[in-house]
Amino acid sequence: MNNLDLSHVKLWRNEFPILNEKIYLANCSQSPQSIRVRSAINEYLESWRYSGMDWEGWLKKTQEAKQQFASLINAEVDEISLTLSVSDATAAVLSALPVSPRRKIITTMIDFPTIGQVLLAHPQFQAVFVPQEDYIIPADRYDDYLDQQTLLLCTPHVCYQNGYKQNIELLAKKAHAQGAWIYVDAYQSLGTEPLDVKAMDIDMLSSGALKYLLGIPGIAFLYIKKELARQLKPQRTGWFGQQNPFSFAVNKLDYASGTRRFDTGTPPIIAAYAAAEGLKIINSIGVKAIKDHISVIKKTILKKCREYDLPVFSPTDPDLSGAAVAIMADNAHDLEHKLAVNNIITSARGPVIRIAPHFFTLPEDIELTIPLIKKYI
C-alpha cells in the first residue's frame, strides 16, 4: 500500500476490537490485540488440541515469522535468529564476540536498561556509557568515545523514554571507521520507521514483536549480517543452533552456517504464530505509509500540547523523533491510571506519559486525550 488515507484507517480499525471501546495510544509498550493475531494464536491452540505435537507446522510457522521480519528490514531469512527477548539476544551477541585486544563496548545512557545490565554481566569487556542530556545524544558526541580499542557500539534507533531518533546510518559509519561493529536495538522504531539493514550497513540488530509489530511477549528477532555471523561462535546455543538439529548428536557442536547458529532450544512457538501474523499486517500496509500517517497524528499531538500548554519532552523535529511523544508529568503513573478509567490507554515511563499512535489512530483520538491529560496532570 502506497498511502494510508482516512478510509483505509477506518477499515483497519475493524481489525482491533478494543478500538470500539477505548482510545489506544500505548503502542510503544504493547500493541492492541488484532483479530488476525488472535486467530493465529487460536490456530496453534487448535493444533495442540487435536494433533498434540506438530513439529512440521511449528517449524513452518517459525520460519514464516523469520521471513516476515527479514522482509521488514531488507535482510535474508538466514540472517535472522529467534530469541526470547532483546535481553536474550544481547546476551547471545556478547557471548559470541571474539577475545581480542579490543575490549571496549560502547553503549549509551539512552538505551533501555537491559542493554547496560547485560553488558555489565560480562566483565571480560570494558563497558563505556555515552552520557545524555534530556535523553538526547548528538551524533558527534560518539566521536569522543569511539576509538581503535572499540569492539562494538550498542545503541538504540529510537529512545524508549522520549522518542528521540538517531541517525543510525551515520553512527554505523563512525563505528566502522574505527574498525568496530554496530548493534542496534530497534524495538521502539520497527513498524513505524523504515529501516534497511543493508543500506544503513547495520552489523547486528534486535527487536521484540509486542510493540509496533502487533505481536505478543516471549519472542524477539536477532539480525546479524551473514558474513559476520560466520565468524561468531555463540556460547549461548542449543540444538536448533546446529546445522542439523534433528541429528541429535549429543557429543558434537556443529554450528549452523548463518545467523541460525544463534537459535537455541525449542523456539517460542505460540509467540511465533502471533509475530508472523502481526508482521504480515505491517508489511502489507507498508512502513512508509504507516510513518506518513503517524507524522500527521503527531502534528495534531504537538498542536494540542501547545494549545493546552503541556510540556513536551520529545524532540519536535521530525528528523529527530520516532512515533511516540512524551509529555512531562510528575504524576505520570497515576495519570496513566486516570486516563485508563476514561477508556484511554497510554504508557507512563518515569516522569513522562507517552502518547504513541499507530496506523489505526485517528485525529479525534488525540483531540479527546490531550484535554484529559491537562485536566489530570
Tens-level pLDDT at each residue, the chain (377 residues): 557 888 899 999 999 999 999 999 999 999 999 999 999 999 999 999 999 999 999 999 999 999 999 999 999 999 999 999 999 999 999 999 998 899 999 999 999 999 999 999 999 999 999 999 999 999 999 999 999 999 999 999 999 999 999 999 999 999 999 999 999 999 999 999 999 999 999 999 999 999 999 999 999 999 999 999 999 999 999 999 999 989 998 999 999 989 999 999 999 999 999 999 999 999 999 999 999 999 999 999 999 999 999 999 999 999 999 999 999 999 999 999 999 999 999 999 999 999 999 999 999 999 999 999 999 99
* Burial readout 46-59 (b: 16 or more C-beta within 10 A, e: otherwise): ebeeeeeeeeeebb
Residue with cell 505509509: 289
Q: Are 374 and 310 in contact (CB under 8 A)?
A: yes
d(CA 297, CA 99): 48
Same CATH fold assignment for domains 6-33+286-376 and 41-283:
no
Question: What CATH topology corresponds to 41-283?
Answer: Aspartate Aminotransferase; domain 2 (3.40.640)
Listed by start position, the domains of the chain span 6-33+286-376, 41-283
- pLDDT score of 2: 58
- Topology of domain 6-33+286-376 in CATH is Aspartate Aminotransferase, domain 1 (3.90.1150)
- Exposed (0-12), middle (13-18) or buried (19+): which is 122, by Cβ within 10 Å? middle
According to the model, what pLDDT value does residue 99 have? 82
Q: How far is CA 40 from CA 37, 114, 317, 358, in A?
A: 5, 30, 38, 21
pTM equals 0.96
pLDDT of residue 357: 98
| pLDDT, position 291 | 97
Q: Kindly report each contact of residues 127-130 with a partner whose C-beta sits within 8 Å and lies 24 or more positions away, as own/partner.
A: 128/104, 130/106
